Amino acid sequence: METLITLDWLKMGWALGLIVLALGLMLWQGLDLTGRLMMGTARTILQLLVAGYFLQGVFALDSPWLVLLVLLVMAVVATAVSRNRISDRLPQLWPLIGASLLFSTTLTLVYIITLILRPDPWYAPQYLIPLGGMLLGNAMNASAIAGERLVSALSRSQTDIETHLSLGATPTQATRSYRQDAIQAGMIPIINSMMVVGLVT
C-alpha cells in the first residue's frame, strides 16, 4: 500500500528555491515584477496554510451546511477575482458574474454528484469541495476573459452599435456579434485543456 507523502518545512524550503530562481531571472532581465512575485508567493503560502487548517475542521465536522458555506465563499471570491480582471468598472458586472458562476457551478455540481459520482453522503467534502473548486476556477477564467473581451468591444464600437440601433435593430441584435466573439474567447482555454487531457494535463 502506498504511503502518503507529507510536505515538511524543509521540503517547502526547497520548493521556494524555484521562486528564487525566477526572481534571479527577473532581476537579470530587468523586469519590474519582483515585488509582485514575492507578494504572490507570500499570499500563496499563507492561503494554503489557512485553507489546510480550515479544511481539516470542515472534514472533521462533516456538516452539509458548512460544506455549502465553503462553496459559497469560494464562489464569492471567484466572482471578485473575475470582476477585478475586467478593466471597465461597471457596477452591473458584479451581480451578472456572480449569478453566472453560481448557476453554472451549481448545475454542474448537482449533475455530477447525483448522476455520476453519487457519494455517500452527497455532501462528502472530499468530493464536493475539490470538484467545486475546479469548476469555479475554470468558470472564473472563462468569465473574466469573456467579460473583458465584451466590455472592450462594446467600448470601442459604440458608434457602430448606435448606428444599428438607429436603423431599427434591437439591443440584442446590435450586440450579437460582440457577444459571440466574447463567448468564443472565454471558451478557448477550456477547449484547449480538453484537447490535451491525458497528453499534457
Over residues 57-110, the pLDDT tens digits come to 888 888 999 999 999 999 999 999 999 888 877 778 888 899 999 999 999 999
Q: With contact defined as beta carbons under 8 Å apart, do 26 and 34 qualify?
A: yes
Rounded to whole angstroms, the Cα distance separating 128 from 31 reads 40
Whether residue 45 is predicted with pLDDT greater than 90 in this model: the reply is no
Q: With contact defined as beta carbons under 8 Å apart, do 161 and 174 qualify?
A: yes
Crossing angle for the helix pair 64-84 and 125-156, nearest 10 degrees? 20
Cis peptide before 171 (omega within 30 of 0): no
Q: Is the pTM of this model over 0.75?
A: yes
Whether residue 200 is predicted with pLDDT greater than 80 in this model: the reply is no
Closest CA to 47 of 75, 76, 74: 74
Rounded to whole angstroms, the Cα distance separating 167 from 179 reads 20
Rounded to whole angstroms, the Cα distance separating 85 from 144 reads 6
pLDDT digits (tens, 9 = 90+) for 136-158: 999 999 999 999 999 899 889 99
For the record, the C-alpha cell of 34 comes out as: 519582483
Neighbouring C-alpha atoms within 13 Å toward the C-beta of 53: 5
pLDDT digits (tens, 9 = 90+) for 162-190: 999 999 999 999 999 999 999 999 999 88
- The pLDDT mean for the chain works out to 88
